[in-house]
Copies of this chain bind each other. A is one copy, B any other.
């Protein structure tokens, strides 16, 4: 198994640092975030050390995706939340603090006061231009 001795999440997986684990199998661990947006905020991680989304192999990513749905549903029900955010930050520029791929499951309430970032409008012609650039990179 790929592991990184300096990684705090690898240490949680190895049992060297305590955590409130809520789910564990061969490939995946889920535990509570210690600074939750709302109580129940859960992190879901692969047990192997991959830095971010881009490094995750197909099988692990597919297994995690099903767990996000099933654990998210159970956690939301357990804490009596009204909604659920999935979040994943990849690289420091996106707010990633621990360089071991992790998904956030965040329970939400109508009245919890958290606001999403507001978007902007594209300038004339900009949207088509950006779409063309992306399509070329995908091909």
Instruction: Please give the residue numbers on chain A whose beta carbons come within 8 Å of chain B beta carbons, in ascending order.
Output: 20-23, 31-37, 39-42, 53-54, 56, 58, 61-62, 64-66, 68-75, 77-79, 81-96, 103, 106, 108-110, 112, 114, 116-122, 126-128, 130-131, 133-138
- Which of A35, A75, A92, A137 has the most CB atoms of chain B within a 10 A radius of its CB? A137
> Of B21, B35, B42, which contacts A119 at CB under 8 A?
B35
User: Are A85 and B83 touching (Cβ within 8 A)?
Assistant: no
User: Are B92 and A131 touching (Cβ within 8 A)?
Assistant: no
Q: Please state the number of chain copies in the assembly.
A: 2
A-B contact sample (4 more), CB < 8 A, given A78-B133, A79-B130, A95-B108 = A20-B131, A22-B131, A70-B138, A81-B93
Give Cα A131 to B22, complex, Å: 6
User: Are A126 and B69 touching (Cβ within 8 A)?
Assistant: no
CB distance from A56 to the nearest CB of B (A): 6
* Closest 5 pairs (CB-CB, A-B): A83-B94, A35-B119, A83-B93, A82-B93, A65-B65
User: Are B61 and A65 touching (Cβ within 8 A)?
Assistant: yes
Give Cα A66 to B108, complex, Å: 26
Give Cα A112 to B31, complex, Å: 30
24 sampled A-B residue pairs with Cβ under 8 A: A21-B131, A32-B127, A35-B119, A35-B120, A35-B121, A36-B120, A39-B126, A40-B130, A42-B134, A53-B73, A54-B72, A56-B69, A61-B65, A62-B62, A64-B65, A75-B137, A78-B130, A83-B93, A83-B94, A84-B94, A85-B87, A85-B89, A86-B88, A89-B116
